[in-house]
Amino acid sequence: MITTRFAPSPTGYLHIGGLRTALFSWLWARKNGGEFLLRIEDTDQARNSEDAVKAIIKAFNWTGMSYDGEAIYQSKRFDVYKKYIDRLLEEGKAYKCYMSKEELGELREKQMANKERARYDGRYRDFDGTPPEGVEPVIRIKAPLDGMITFDDGVKGEINIASSEVDDFVIARAGGVPTYNFVVAIDDYEMGLTDVIRGDDHLYNTPKQIVVYNALGFDIPKFYHVAMINNEKGKKLSKRDGATDVMEYQTLGFLPEALLNFLVRLGWSHGDQEIFTIDEMLKLFDPKNINKSSSNYDFKKLEWLNSHYIKNMAHDKLALLLKNYGVDITQNSNIDLILNATKERAKTLVELANQINIILNTPERYDAKASKKAFKGEAKDIISEFGELLKTTDTTEYHKLMEDFLAEKEIGFGKLGQPLRVALLGSMTGSGLDEIISIIGVEKAVIRIENAVEFIENSNKENS
RNA sequence: GGCCCCUUCGUCUAGUGGUUAGGAUCCAUGGUUUUCAUCCAUGUUACAGGAGUUCAAGUCUCCUAGGGGUCACCA
C-alpha cells in the first residue's frame, strides 16, 4: 500500500512546480491503488488565507486529479501536536529554552562574523536551574550531537548529513504553536504516508524531520526530492516569468491534459515517449525514473502539446470548453465543419475561439496590408462575378465551383482566392475558402462579398 | 561563507564500459496546401573542463569550474 500527499501552504495560488510534485505523488499513489491525501499547511496564522485554500483546491480540481477523503488542516490539529510535544518533554527528548530572540540574534551574528554556520548552541539543553524571569520559553528538540543522519532518497540516492548541521531546532514557539518541521513529521506519520514526494527545497528539512521521527520512534517514510523547475533562462521561476499560477493556463487556453503531459515530462521520462494520456502516465510512472537535475520550462513545447491535444479532442467536448472562451457552437449543426476548418491552426483554445469567431462573424474591417494587396486591379470584378455565380448555383462543391470559374476565365487561383479570402475573413490567412463558405452558407458569403465590393468602390472614389 | 545536490543538442530527455551518442521541441530548408496552419521529408547543434582506472569512458574515481538548494520562534 502506497500513501502519498500533497501539502501546500495556503499563502498564494497553486504554483506550476507544486502541481508537478502533486502530479508525481498522485500518479504514484493511484498507480499502486494507494491513497493520495491533501494536507493544508496553515500553522502560520499570519500568512495563510482562506482564499488561497480555495484557489489551490480550484486549480487542483481543474487538473482532474482527485484526493482521497477530506483535506486535512494543520491549524485544526494543534491538540494532536501538543500531545506529542508533552510526550517529548516528559521523556526528556525535548526541553524548554529561555533564550530570548535578542540573545539568539546576537549569537547568530557572532557566528556569522566568525564565518561559522549559524546554529543554536544548546545552552538550555541540560538546564536545570531557575529559569530567567519574564521569558516565555520555546521548546526545542534534542538533536543528536554527533554522527550522521542518513537517508536513502528515491531520487538523489543516499544522503548523508552530519548531525552537527542540525541544531536543537524549535518545535513549539513561545505561546505553544508548533513549527513546520515538527508538524510535518507528525502528520506524515499519522496520515500513514509511505512515500513523500516533494521539492528539492525540502531536502534540508528531511534530517530535521528524521530527528522527530527517531525521537518518537516512528518509521521513516521513503523520501523523493524532485529538483526545481527553472524558467527558460535557467533561473528560478518567478512571477515575472509569466504563467506560474496553474489557473493562468486555463485563461491562456491550455488543456489540463496538455499541462499535465508537459509537467510529467519535466524531470521524468519513459524512454522516448513524449505523449502520455493520463492512463499511460498511470501505467508507466515510476519515481525511479525521476531526474536528478533541475529542468527548464519550455513554453513552446507546452504549446506543441496543447495543439496536439486540441487536434485530437472529441468535437463535442471541445465545443463545450470553447464556451469559456466566448464561442458557443454546441448547438451549431456545422460543429464538425467548423472545428475541422480551425483546430489545426490553433495552439490554444483562445486561438481556436478566435479562428472560429473570425469565420462566424462578418468582418468589420479589412486588414490594411491584406486589402491593399488583394483588392487591387480586377479583384473587385472577379469576386463580384463570383458572388453572382454563388447566388445562382446549387452546388455545395465550392472548391470545384471555384476551379471551374477560374478555368473558364483562364486565370490562376490566387486572382480569386486572395480577394475572396480578405472579403470573407478580413485577412490574408485562415481556413480554406470552400470550408468557410460551407460553414457560413452562400447567403452570408454573398453579403460579405458585396460588402467587400462596396468597400473597394468607396476606396477607389476616395483615391481618385 | 558552511553543508548538500546537480551538469548530454538552445530546451525537455534516452543512454547503466564497446552506439555513426537516439527521440521530441525549437530553428532552417524542401514538398503538400489557393493562403496560413497541419502533415511529410531533410538538415544544423550536445556528453562543462582536466587528470586517472581500463584494451575501451557520456557511462567508474578524483580535482576544478559553473549552476542550484539550505542555513528562522516561515512553510
pLDDT digits (tens, 9 = 90+) for A287-311: 999 999 999 999 999 999 999 999 9
Question: Rounded CA gap, A141 and A132, in Å?
Answer: 20
Cα-based distances in Å from A24 to A37, A75, A206, A263: 13, 26, 19, 9
Residue type, A174: A
Contact A329, A335 (CB under 8 A): yes
A293 nearest nt, CA–C1': B6
A164 nearest nt, CA–C1': B3
Q: Which of A57-61, A264-268, A406-410, A429-433 has the lowest mean pLDDT?
A: A406-410
Is residue A182 exposed (0-12), middle (13-18) or buried (19+ Cβ within 10 Å)?
buried
pLDDT digits (tens, 9 = 90+) for A180-199: 999 999 999 999 999 999 99
Question: Does the pLDDT at position A241 exceed 90?
Answer: no
Please tell me the predicted confidence (pLDDT) of residue A84: 98
**What pTM, to 2 d.p., does this model score?**
0.94
Residue A110 falls in the annotated catalytic set: no
* R_g of chain A, CA atoms, integer Å: 32
Chain B positions with any atom < 7 A from a protein CB: 1-8, 10-15, 22-27, 33-39, 67-75
How far does the CA of A311 sit from the C1' of B39, in Å? 12
Please tell me the predicted confidence (pLDDT) of residue A401: 94
A416 nearest nt, CA–C1': B34
**Assigned C-alpha cell, A18:** 507544486
Residue nearest to nucleotide B36 (CA to C1'): A429
Helices (H) and strands (E) in chain A, counts: 18, 12
Cα-based distances in Å from A68 to A6, A50, A191, A290: 11, 21, 12, 24
Question: Rounded CA gap, A49 and A27, in Å?
Answer: 28
How far does the CA of A199 sit from the C1' of B67, in Å? 17
How far does the CA of A454 sit from the C1' of B64, in Å? 75
Percent of chain A with pLDDT over 70: 100
Tell me what the pLDDT averaged over chain A comes to.
Answer: 93
How far does the CA of A294 sit from the C1' of B21, in Å? 22
